[in-house]
Amino acid sequence: MGTVTVETWGTIPKEVGNLTSLIFLKISNNILQGHVPNEVGLLNQLKCMNLQFNELSGEIPSSL
């Protein structure tokens, strides 16, 4: 499995919840703002999520 590194900005889109087979979500070291959408809780296969070093605000969704 390869790794792709891309610096991104903006917000985490609600559509991330459509990635139901996703196991790892690493979007650290970016310029993401806003909150983590509740739809992240739909990622039933998710084992690891790294969001550190962004500009996110708010609480972690209870759906996680």
Domain ranges in the chain are: 9-56
Q: What gap in Å lies between CA 43 and CA 24, rounded to an integer?
A: 10
More confident residue, 5 or 32: 32
pLDDT one-digit tens code per residue, 8-44: 789 999 999 999 999 999 989 989 999 999 999 999 9
Q: How many DSSP H helices and E strands does the chain contain? A: 0, 5
Could you tell me the pTM of the whole model?
0.78
